[in-house]
Structure 1
Amino acid sequence: MNNQYYYSLPNISTTEIAFLQQITQNLDEEGQKRFMMFYSGKRKDPQHLLLFTLLGFLGFAGIQRFVTNQMGMGIVYFLTAGLCFIGTIIDLINYKSMADEFNHKMAIESRQFMDMMR
């Protein structure tokens, strides 16, 4: 597959590209295009998580946790003002790793969905 599909994703890292190449290596061209269609719809841009985390300082704590499907932590952050802003500060530092972890899970889920469609 041509890497242009990977680079069309906003703020994609080289490690994410390497993982996507590994997970799609035995798909044909059409399968890789379908995978990218599914994956790009589920993927979260790290910059969006940064923005959602910054909103925690304005009274909307936990949005970044809801967006990454961590509902329990999102509720805890919302009710405790981001664990008294300490959790929000930690998430502000770790927003890229949060996005990478979520995107990794979504890539695996998208690949499993592709396998089920065969």
Structure 2
Amino acid sequence: MDDHGDDFSVWVGDGQPDPFAYRTEEDWAAIAGYVRHSANKLGQPLPLCLPGEPQACGRSSRQHVMAWGAELKARAQRVIEDAAPSPAHATYASGPLYQHHLATLRQPRA
């Protein structure tokens, strides 16, 4: 996978406040590893290109979290489509059901 979302700053610009500044590079590397592992379970293996790995590409762990998160989301969509007995079922699972789960995840924990 060569696409690591390098053109993202063109869309939003630089200088935006960083809501995740509390995460360290090590935190992002662990998350990237988890996301890659999950994506690998659903398709072709992603490269070992995190900082310090044999095929290091020079991008940060945080950039990998975003790029591989997008890859995981696409692979999950494909799983939904393959499992759905009809296009309507796939639309429901990837639309309203997905939005419900996302809203639940966004709620602050008590």
**Taking structure 2 as the reference length, what is the TM-score of the superposition?**
0.33
User: Which one has a larger percent helix, Structure 1 or Structure 2?
Assistant: 1
Bigger RCO of structures 1 and 2 (CA < 8 A, at least 6 apart): 1
